[in-house]
Amino acid sequence: MADAVVLVSGGAAVTPFTDPDRASGSGLAAGNTLTALRAHLLERGAAVFTAPARIGDGEVREDAGWQGFADVPVVLPSEMTVNAVGGIDEGGARLAAFLRWLGEEHGLTDVDLVAHSMGGLFSRAAIRHLQGSGPSVHRLVTLGTPWEGSLLGDVLTGEISANDAAGDEGTAQILERSRSYAAENSQGAADQVSRRFLREWNAAQVGVLDTITVTAIGAGHFHAASAPLQLWPHDGLVSQRSARADDVPSEVLPRAVRHSFHDDVHSIFFADAFGLPWERALTWDPEVFAVVDDALQA
């Protein structure tokens, strides 16, 4: 394994900085995305850090929202804190600054990244920013990352709509709420997790992942129809095909291992919304954690 594992949360997530010994003193120790995965990796003996993220610019001191946290022992500056509703490249630059700080402060020369959702895109951008500086990245594991777009982004571009819900009530609800959710929360993120944007963005990433082994994990709890492929099956936010990076060109992603969890949803937000146990979320599923373990040991 590398010197450490760095966990990166996704869009609209609020995550405190944690290190192997310190985490939030109340609430979910590493936020509602990464707490279970962090605990698992610590039990496995890994040195685990979580990258700070928040909605908008600033520092992470608490999350007063759903399943939040408080009493953060170490607060890092905004320059190292990902704006989880901002653009991919901006988030990647801040994540790269955080990784450089980890290298300097904790003596890390190489790291593995495990990223959820848009965190996988932030991670890819950070890897590009790090070339020639900071710790090297050996492995990248993505959970539900929209490599080629998301339901949210593709609704905004008009490539899919509520008419594609195929009678599935949950999918219809998700698609119908996408525009209002983006208007209320996004500072660029929603527009950039569309297939239209990411096709061009991916084309500009040739060479970035050439030396990095990537494990791309997708889920497909919602499977009422088979078309369009950019929608079905999906985890509530990202299609299984997009999360597995099935159609990303080999010159962009030359070393990929792909896994599917057909019964899982994107996060505990979706599990809670649809009456599922949290263990059916990609970020909380012990079976997903076993795949992550294997990926980090490969």
Q: Could you tell me the residue ranges of all domains in the chain? A: 85-297
For 85-297, CATH number?
3.40.50
**209 in Cβ contact with 127 (< 8 Å):** yes
Express each pLDDT in 260-282 by its tens digit. Answer: 999 999 999 999 999 999 999 99
pLDDT given at position 132: 80
Separation between Cα atoms, residue 111 and residue 191, nearest integer Å: 30
Separation between Cα atoms, residue 83 and residue 134, nearest integer Å: 21
pLDDT given at position 298: 84
pTM score, whole prediction: 0.98
Higher pLDDT, 35 or 131: 35
Separation between Cα atoms, residue 71 and residue 261, nearest integer Å: 35
Task: Indicate whether 1 pLDDT > 90.
Answer: no
3-class state of residue 95 by DSSP: helix
> CA distances (Å), 242 to each of 25, 93, 215, 280, in order?
36, 24, 13, 19
Express each pLDDT in 194-240 by its tens digit. Answer: 999 999 999 999 999 999 999 999 999 999 999 999 999 999 999 99
Express each pLDDT in 79-92 by its tens digit. Answer: 999 999 999 999 99
| C-alpha 23: how far from chain center | 20
Express each pLDDT in 65-115 by its tens digit. Answer: 999 999 999 999 999 999 999 999 999 999 999 999 999 999 999 999 999
Express each pLDDT in 174-189 by its tens digit. Answer: 999 999 988 888 888 9
**167 in Cβ contact with 224 (< 8 Å):** yes
pLDDT given at position 157: 96
Query: How would you classify residue 32: left for phi > 0, otherwise alpha for psi between -120 and 50, otherwise beta?
Result: alpha
Query: How would you classify residue 217: left for phi > 0, otherwise alpha for psi between -120 and 50, otherwise beta?
Result: beta
- Partners of 48 in the β-ladder: 5
